[in-house]
Amino acid sequence: MNKKEVIFILLNGFADWEGAYLSTYLNWGVKPGGPVKYTVKTLSISKDPVTSIGGFKVLPDYGINDMPEDYAGLVLIGGMSLRSPEALQIVPLVENAIRDKKLVAGICDASYFLGVHGFLNHVKHTSNGLDYIKQAGDKYTGEANYVNEQAVRDGNIVTANGTAPLEFCREVLYALNADTPEVIEKSYQHWTNRLTPK
């Protein structure tokens, strides 16, 4: 099968946990032995290593100028640098992805980033709380579309709270049709059922 690339955008201080489940299920398949439709690539502003909150140094596959034309979607991981001037260089990539009806997914401060640049005004979305995303300023006029859930999918746009790496994962897997609904739900329950406090 010709695998499509899903591009994870990582800036310095990215949150280790936010893409960990999703990258695994995309790159390895949702179920052992099942289809593997996607391959995970990472992109940052340059190809220099970016350091996670947890101190892992990740070597991006792409810098901003190497962005491939053929890809399935963008996954924006939250963290400490999405409000930095250099993060503005990501905006045209998101514009292009939305124009081309590709997946755009943002978790935690990446949902804020999508809000501040006006990408969430006309789609159902969530973030780290309504008050959190309302700080996003004038370009954010999407309050009526804010949904108080851990993760929200509206067409090709997925947003999530930073506490919701598993719900974010599930909704992106649905958006990308990564496997059957039954397999996607099981992949989610694999973690959530056992995490129920005793």
Catalytic residues: 108
Q: How far is the CB of 80 from its own copies (least distance, A)?
A: 10
Residues 118 and 23: their CA atoms lie apart, in Å, by 26
Site string for its own copies, 125-154 (x = CB under 8 A): -------------------------x----
Stretch that binds its own copies, among 20-28, 64-72, 103-111, 134-142 (CB under 8 A): 20-28
Q: How far is the CB of 150 from its own copies (least distance, A)?
A: 7
Q: How far is the CB of 29 from its own copies (least distance, A)?
A: 11
Q: How far is the CB of 196 from its own copies (least distance, A)?
A: 5
CA dihedral 116, 121, 127, 128 (to 10 degrees): 60
Question: Which residue is listed with tokens 């804020």?
Answer: 112
Contact 164, 151 (CB under 8 A): yes
C-alpha closest to that of 158 among 141, 134, 139, 178: 178
Site for its own copies in 149-188 (CB under 8 A): 150, 163-164, 166
Residues 174 and 181: their CA atoms lie apart, in Å, by 7
For its own copies, which is the closer residue by CB, 42 or 136?
Answer: 42
Task: For helices 20-28 and 165-175, give the axis angle rounded to 10 degrees.
Answer: 30
Instruction: Decide: is 53 part of the binding site for its own copies (CB under 8 A).
Output: yes
Contact pick of 9, 11, 40, 103 for its own copies (by CB under 8 A): 40
Stretch that binds its own copies, among 53-61, 84-92, 134-142, 170-178 (CB under 8 A): 53-61
Contact pick of 11, 12, 19, 108 for its own copies (by CB under 8 A): 19
Give the number of residues in contact with its own copies, rule: CB under 8 A: 40
Instruction: Decide: is 190 part of the binding site for its own copies (CB under 8 A).
Output: yes
Sites of contact with its own copies (CB under 8 A):
8, 15-17, 19-24, 26-28, 39-42, 49, 52-59, 61, 150, 163-164, 166, 189-197
